[in-house]
Amino acid sequence: MGRCFVTRRLPGTALDRLAAAHEVEVWPLRLPPGPGELGSCLAGADGLLSLLTDPIGVAVLERAPGLRAIANYAVGVDNIDVAEATRRGIPVGNTPDVLTETSADFTFALLMAAARRVVEADAAARRDWVTWEPAALLGVDIHGATLGIVGRGRIGGAVARRAEGFGMRVLHSERSAGEPLDELLAASDFVTLHCPLTAETTGLIGARELGLMRPGAVLVNTARGPIVDGDALATALSEGEIAAAALDVTDPEPPPPGHPLLSAPNLLLAPHIASASERTRAAMADCAVNNLLAALAGERMPHCVNPEVYEQSPPSATRRSP
């Protein structure tokens, strides 16, 4: 039996399965542990179940010499120094597939809400709805429009399938295929982002790229906040360079009081909930726990982002034997 630290209580019953096999400590507070607190909690831990809000870098890993596995409760692992974990012989797991359709649903919900000004309409109906007005709250059509998908992986592909049902023309751009990004931005009525956060995609959509988009275009981001330059987006919205934006993610997250995005016009903002259905979040927990249980049993993680770790011998100074 090993000791596992979980950085937040998770939906579903997966943690009960983990607790049946290992000693489990769950961080009890709503806000995540800071780096110092996390390092302290990992002293003596064999397994870590982390969230995307938990930065797992060298400083944290140095305080966890016995750590044998990290299971991230997310598809992306940009919060983890995977190279350092690999150097230390620690497999890192993620939760692909289970959140694809739910995230695509929410992406389209944001797209539709921004296009048809749903949030503004709700506020207007509650505030001053006095009659039907032919020119009130005019939005943009979705059917027949062109959708540009940046990063057509699992979620991007699922969004494309939904777009086909609306009769949209679908373009896509990725590193090795599809349209060049500049051409996609210029040709699309809607642009939705689904690429992973990497050094290459950080700041991918900045002032220049926003300037290439159509004045009536809508930008949707359910991927990672740093892919978009938030200050540049706020300026583009304020100056009417694009019609609207819908964000499930920001940089920083959440945006602090006074951040330009919070006062930008025609911006719909959600608190990182693209995967937030009861079934999906429970399935994510099951996937993360399955990764942890397998690794701590000396088996391959079902979903490992650094499989090369199984081909090397971990440094004895950085890892305790099972």
CA atoms within 13 A on the CB side of 43: 6
- Torsion-angle region of 203 (φ positive above 0: left; ψ -120 to 50: alpha; else: beta): left
Q: Between β-strands 169-174 and 177-178, what pairing exists: parallel, antiparallel or unpaired? A: antiparallel
Distances (CA, A) of 162 to 80, 108, 117, 154, 289: 32, 8, 20, 13, 31
| Exposed e or buried b per residue across 193-215, where buried means at least 16 C-beta atoms within 10 angstroms of its C-beta | bbbebeeebeebbeeebbebbbe
Catalytic residue among 22, 214, 272, 300: 272
Reading the block at residue 304, the tokens are 């490992």
Distance CA 265, CA 256 (A): 17
| DSSP codes joined into one string, 34-67 | PHHHHHHHTTT-SEEEE-TTS-B-HHHHHT-TT-
According to DSSP, the residues that pair with 5 across neighbouring strands are 25, 48
Q: How far is CA 243 from the centre of its chain?
A: 24
Structural contact between residues 168 and 145, judged by C-beta atoms closer than 8 angstroms: yes
Distances (CA, A) of 273 to 255, 265, 278, 281: 15, 22, 11, 10
**Residue 253 is a catalytic residue:** yes
| DSSP SS3 for 106 | helix
Omega prior to 252 cis, within 30 of 0? yes
The dihedral sign for the CA sequence 156, 158, 164, 165? negative
**Residue 88 is a catalytic residue:** no
| DSSP SS3 for 109 | helix
**Residue 23 is a catalytic residue:** no
Catalytic residue among 224, 281, 303, 319: 224
Catalytic residue among 23, 84, 101, 253: 253
Structural contact between residues 58 and 37, judged by C-beta atoms closer than 8 angstroms: no
Residues labelled catalytic: 224, 253, 272
